[in-house]
Structure 1
Amino acid sequence: MQRDYTIGTAIRMRRQALGWSLQRLIDASHIEMSTGHLATLETKDVAPSVYVADALAKGLGTTIDVLLKEAADPKGFSAPSEHAQRVPVIPWNLAAEWGRNPDPKRLPAGTAWIMPPEAPAGRTFAMTVRDEGMQAPSGISFPAGYTIFVDPGRKAVANDCIVGHLGDPAAPVFKKLTLDGSAYYLRALNPQFPMQQVGDTFEVIGVVVGVRATFDKGGVL
């Protein structure tokens, strides 16, 4: 039985409103899919799996429910902003500056914008973990290549994982803030990395509020 509409209608409208190619949407959605398959989903009466629909919705900065409503009533569609509901992936040397003054116009050319695990709050931004210091042998872990989401508006307390610097804003670190007596320390989750006591020059850039692993052909990006 032919349906009156499919979710592909809304996917196509949003993708075209953003000026994206089929491949760019696939890349933004972090899924394995050919452009031909995506084109079929957009133009034929073929329903994607829940996993694919959710990934494409997040890649477009929206949800499956919104796409279904837009597909059912195309007249209610409003063109999305490319950065709507997304957060930028900030270079480490610019994290402190962005935390103080978030201005997309000052970001490097080609900066990626991605969907956070939940709706972004305030000035939340993303960073790519660059070393093994927060890769724990068990429990919560942040391996190199994972994406962390940082909220500069949240007040850091003991046991928070934070991004901060020890005096040089261009050289931030990612550690767990630990309180021992009256002194604060920065502790890596990897026991092979030393613990550092913080001094008067220490400044918290933001508290880590989320993490995402990206897989590509069996490996973590």
Structure 2
Amino acid sequence: MCMSTLAERLKEARKHAKLTQAKLAAVSGVEQPLISQLETGKNLQSAHLPKFAHICGVSAIWLSDNIGPMVVDSKEKSNVSVASQPAQSYRYPVISWVSAGSWAEAVEPYPAGISDNYEFSEYDSKGSAFWLTVKGDSMTAPAGQSITEGTLILVDTEAEVVPGKLVVAKLPDSNEATFKKLVSDGGRLFLKPLNPSYPIEPFDENCRIVGVVVRALQKF
């Protein structure tokens, strides 16, 4: 019987789960370059193998040592019920408001060194996405929808932009991004804070929408 290498088994496991290297990296939290090194035999690090096996739905001992079948037949398992698996999660960088403002003019998303901090979400973004930590109370409302200071918001740069959505925009007179609700009134667009104590700002051709806020995560 031909003995497969660790690199071959990892690649086979990933294909079994119908995951690209990028998707496996996003779900596992392991950098894609490391996965590529493992699949080409340039790295024999095994610390992440149990996690990869779990995500790909294969036997951990098969993946690490080539012992037994790749997938254990469910008929051979005990009658102990298995808890349902959580939804897939994706990793996005947490960046600064200045970086978000620059994003509107950026040619290449995720430049090197953009962030040392990452958070996960089950949301699968349509384009490059990132987290921002809300500053101030301009989006804190006395009733209804309210986003308090310290909340992490996930911004998708390619989600559909329509009135009524919460957006991150770049104003022409500021280096930083701003977080507001995009509203339409009389055929014109405005950026409206949820806190009525703050002024509504007109949205014109000099403003840029960086992205749409698709998730909010309150940190305690």
Instruction: Give the TM-score normalised by structure 1.
Output: 0.58
Aligned to 2:11: none
Gaps of 5+ in 1: 1-13, 19-61, 78-83, 216-221
SS at match of 1:105: coil
Q: Which has the higher helix share?
A: 1
Aligned to 2:168: 163
Aligned to 1:90: 95
- Looking at CA atoms only, which structure, 1 or 2, has the larger radius of gyration? 2
Mapped to 2, the partners of 1:205 and 1:188 lie a distance apart of: 17
**1:126 aligned onto 2:131:** yes
**1:105 aligned onto 2:92:** no
Mapped to 1, the partners of 2:97 and 2:123 lie a distance apart of: 22
How far residue 197 of structure 1 moved from its aligned partner, in angstroms, is 1.4
How far residue 152 of structure 1 moved from its aligned partner, in angstroms, is 0.8
Aligned to 2:69: none
How far residue 168 of structure 1 moved from its aligned partner, in angstroms, is 4.3
Change (3 A) 1:76 1:120: farther
| Correspondence 1:32-181 to 2 at 5 A | 66=54, 69=57, 73-76=60-63, 85-98=90-103, 100=106, 101-107=108-114, 111-168=116-173, 170-181=175-186
SS at match of 1:189: coil
Aligned residues: 148
Query: Deviations along 1:134-192, whole A, 9 cap, x unmatched?
Result: 11222221100000000111231111100002214622110000100111111111111
Change (3 A) 1:125 1:74: farther
Mapped to 2, the partners of 1:127 and 1:66 lie a distance apart of: 30
Gaps of 5+ in 2: 1-27, 32-50, 65-88
Instruction: Give the TM-score normalised by structure 2.
Output: 0.58
**CA RMSD of superposed structures (Å):** 2.9
One-letter code of the match for 2:112?
A: K
Aligned to 1:41: none
Instruction: Tell me the percent identity.
Output: 28
Is the Cα–Cα contact under 8 Å of residues 93 and 169 in structure 1 kept in the other structure?
no
